[in-house]
Structure 1
Amino acid sequence: MDAADDTTTAALVIGMPLLLATVALVTWRVTGHALRPVEEIRAEVAAISDRDLHRRVPVPATHDEVARLAETMNATLDRLEASGIRQRQFIADASHELRSPITVLRTQLEVALAVRDPELWPELIGGALEDIERLQHLAADLLLLARIDAAQPTRAEPLDLTVLVREVVDSRLGDRVPVEVRLEPGVEVTANALWLGRVVTNLVDNAQRYADRRVDVTLRSTSGSGPRPHVAVLEVVDDGPGVPAADRERIFERFTRLDDSRSRDHGGAGLGLAIARDLSAHHGGTLTAEDSARGARLVLRLPTAHRP
């Protein structure tokens, strides 16, 4: 027994360090091999700058958590790249839109400065004031889009959409095209009154810009699906040339005008419908262009306010 005890002690004294060293070596090698893809992902992400958003991290063929991490990272880079492209396009479009009225305004002021006939000054100054007003509207629209993109929180409260639509339409005195309304009473939503009023105003403005003789505004509530059993549906229909099916999504893009010259004549910058859709999405709703017998038919859908 003493001999066996001595042998065991000697074996443990000699073998335990060797066993621990072997386990440590194997653990280090296995862990290093398992974490090598993570290090490659880290190195690639560290090398990506704001000018290299097209680059992607390598996805290992292991189909495990590390592979899913790489796929998630690439999806995030896709969103960042798309956001950067949208920002650059927005800046380019905004610069183009601002350059045109500024150029015209400068020309009008230079002509007014050169003309010595006081009788022509009112006409020249009036044209300059029109371009200044257009610049003011464009700057306000750009500021609103920046606030929407920044997802700044707004105060939302129960709102009678029927009353809001009625107030927006009644405040439009002397419009070129009359607006006929058919409003279901008591349609309530949870929204910011100022922003939702802007949505209604932009939809009516767009309809009147292209309508021939009339604009119809209809509000009703319908049964929905999911946690919101009822949906408020606002339809704005004009009798103008309408929107081709291929362009029904493109009209909601920023600075998009299907008829550029006509839109400029009517003072449109191509931001009204883009703002309306962004504000609709901000309130949990949708804004779409749908089929119509004649003209354009824009449909706003919003979840109704919850009633206990």
Structure 2
Amino acid sequence: MRSVRARAALGATVVVALAVVAAGLGVLLVLRANLTDQAGLQAEVAARETAGQLALDVPYDKLDMGDEEDHPVQVTDEDGRVVAVSEDLDAISGTGTDRVTPQPASAVPEKGDDHGGHGGRDDDDDDGAGADPGRGEVSTDEPDFRNGAATVDGDTADYRFASVEATNSAGLTLTVHAGAPLAAEQRAVASVRGAMLAGLPVVLLVVAGVTWLVTRRALRPVEGIRREMAAITASEDLSRRVPEPGSRDEIARLARTTNETLTALEASVDRQRRFVADASHELRSPIASLRTQLEVGAAHPELLDVAGAVADTVRLQVLAADLLLLARLDAGERPGKARLDLGALVREEVSQRIGDRIAVTVSVPEPGGLEVTGSRGQLARVIGNLLDNAERHAESSVAVAVRVERGGVVVEVSDDGAGVPEAERERIFERFVRLDDARARDDGGAGLGLAIARDVAIRHGGRLTAAGAGERGARFELRLPGPR
């Protein structure tokens, strides 16, 4: 099944079916057990009534066994011989013996006779009133219960039999097997089972239908999201957004996350387009200048400006290198994991800047505790870009300091130039942004140095920020974590 609604409806139906079947079986078992216990209690009462008469030495043929159809009774002696049965009992099973014809057995003792025999009893003493009731007893042990069947007056039915022992005055132990019908239990169980079987399909149809409708309603926003995403894909218009339902469930969160993804994707595409446009614009100028100089040189060799051509070539080479580095950073290039001394790296970078118009003041503590993990080349590029920016805007001084702070290393580059307005301190890290466009272009800057520096800092787990340097100038802080 490819439909979520169909799978949900089927799953819910199967679960409910299993639960209903399990619950139904439990109900049937409990109902059967309760009704069987009730039948057993009735059988026990009937058996104890007959056992009480035997304990009072009532003769077998004078026993009052109650309603023989509802409570068939069979009495056996110690040897398993049948000594008495209820009237009209034609067959029996489940009591240990299936005999229903009484056999000769030890006699019930008469009044004043310790050895038994039927003679000598008064004709008026048919109910055993003349016997000594203190000489016999009925067992108080838990009866033995069994299920069986009995045929009474030609009708066969299932019964619950209770077996109770009684001892008469002669010391003879007799066992009374009395039954109670299980027809009521069978009818009740059959009725409940039939009702469950009849109602189960209806319940399952209702569950399946309700689940289908609820799932359809719940997934309706998902279909709207899918259609809108398909339309966005077809139109390539990333400014569109999927509809967000007013609920606070998972589907609403999915819609919000999808819109956030579209927003990020739109911003990324816009940034990429601006990057390509700006890169094309920046490349156009040195290429056009270089081409013009070469064409003039080809027509008039004496007019060829070799120094200008070399400068344009160098500018073009630097710009191409910056663009290549940005492309690698955007592609997710991970920095190296080499351990390096940031203080030594700063000293090395400053020592190579021989042609700077302003000397750089360096403040680096003694070696130790200035180690970081990362790419030596990329971190050197960050320091170089910060120094280039300071040299471009400083009036008389450029300073760089390295220190340990809160488990990391901080490189601070400051100058005494015009500074960076507070409102522009984040925008200057965007690509191709120049606050002083004319001077930056004259100096060969394309507005990529600070953007590259921040990207490298972030990929090394650090950060690069700009701030004021007192009353005048700018201060850039590069914070990198310690070795990992």
Provide the TM-score with structure 1 as the length reference: 0.90
Corresponding position: 1:165 with 2:342: no
For 2:483 and 2:392, locate their aligned partners in 1 and report how far apart those are by CA, in whole Å: 32
In the alignment, structure 1 residue 211 sits paired with structure 2 residue 368: no
Cα deviation, 1:98-136, whole Å, max 9, x if unaligned, reads: 11111111111121122153xx33xx2321121111111
Which residue in the other structure is 1:80 paired with?
265
Alignment-derived partner of residue 384 in structure 2: 201
Residues 237-273 of structure 1, C-alpha deviations (whole Å, 9 max, x = no match): 1122222222211211111111111111111111011
Q: Which residue of 1 aligns with 2:483?
A: 305
- Cα distance in 1 between the residues matched to 2:204 and 2:421: 75
Q: Pick from 248, 256, 259: which aligns with 1:71?
A: 256
Distance, in Å, in 2 between the alignment partners of 1:116 and 1:11 is 110
| 1:277 has 2:454 as partner | yes
- CA distance in structure 1 between the aligned counterparts of 2:409 and 2:189, rounded to whole angstroms: 87
Deviation at 1:216, TM superposition (A): 0.6
Equivalent in the alignment of 2:430: 253
What is the number of equivalent residue pairs in this alignment?
296
Please report the RMSD computed on the Cα atoms of aligned residues, expressed in angstroms. 1.9
- 2:448 is matched by which residue type in structure 1? L
2:199 corresponds, among 6, 11, 15, to 15
- Which letter maps to 1:216? A
- Cα 1:252–1:5, aligned 2, differ >3 Å: closer, same or farther? closer
CA distance in 1, matches of 2:287, 2:328: 24
Per residue, is there more helix in 1 or in 2? 1
Highest relative contact order (Cα 8 Å, sep 6+), 1 or 2? 1
Instruction: Name the stretch that deviates more: 269-278 or 53-62.
Output: 53-62
Q: Does 1:89 align with 2:274?
A: yes
Q: State how far apart, in whole Å, the 1-side matches of 2:188 and 2:426 are.
A: 86
SS in 2 for 1:154: coil
Could you tell me how far apart the structure 2 residues matched to 1:26 and 1:244 are? 64
CA distance in 1, matches of 2:194, 2:452: 82
Structure 1 residue 206: Cα displacement: 1.0
Query: Structure 2 matches for 1:280-299, cutoff 5 A?
Result: 280-293=457-470, 294-299=472-477
CA distance in 1, matches of 2:426, 2:194: 81
Output the CA distance in 2 between the equivalents of 1:70 and 1:64. Answer: 10
Residue type of the alignment partner of 2:422? A
Deviation readout 1:197-245 (Å, 9 max, x if unpaired): 110011111111122222111111123xxxxxx2211111112222222
Determine if contact 1:157/1:192 at 8 Å carries over to the other structure: yes
Kept after mapping to 2: 8 A contact 1:184/1:221: no
User: Which residue of 2 is the match for residue 227 of structure 1?
Assistant: none
Residues in 1 aligned to 2:432 and 2:199: alpha-carbon distance in whole angstroms: 77
AA at the equivalent of 1:201: G
Residues 5-44 of structure 1 mapped to structure 2, 5 A cutoff: 11-12=195-196, 14-44=198-228
1:137 Cα deviation from its structure 2 partner: 0.7
Q: Which consecutive residues of structure 2, in runs of 5 or more, have no partner in the other structure?
A: 1-182
1:69: Cα distance to partner?
1.5
Give the C-alpha shift of residue 19 in structure 1.
Answer: 2.5
* Stretch of structure 1 that moved more, 201-210 or 241-250: 241-250
Q: State whether residues 220 and 234 of structure 1, in contact with CA within 8 Å, keep that contact through their aligned partners in structure 2.
A: yes
Q: Which runs of 4+ in 1 moved over 4 A?
A: 1-14
What percent of counterpart residues are identical? Answer: 57
Distance 1:75 1:109, change over 3 A: same
1:264 aligns to 2:448 (yes or no): no
Aligned-partner Cα distance in 2 for 1:143–1:114: 34
Amino acid at match of 1:35: L
Q: Which has the larger radius of gyration?
A: 2
Structure-2 residue corresponding to 1:144: 325
- Single out whichever of 267-276 and 40-49 deviates more from structure 2: 40-49
1:179 CA displacement: 0.7
* Aligned residues of 2:315 and 2:444 also touching (Cα < 8 A): yes
**Of residues 416, 420, 427 in structure 2, which corresponds to 1:239?**
416
Q: Which amino acid aligns with 1:137?
A: V
- Is 1:106 the equivalent of 2:291? yes
Unaligned runs of 5+ in 1: 224-229
Query: Which one has the bigger strand percentage?
Result: 2
Matched, 1:45 2:223: no
Q: Secondary structure at the match of 1:176?
A: coil
Contact 2:416/2:469 (CA < 8 Å) preserved in 1? no
Correspondence 1:57 to 2:238 = no
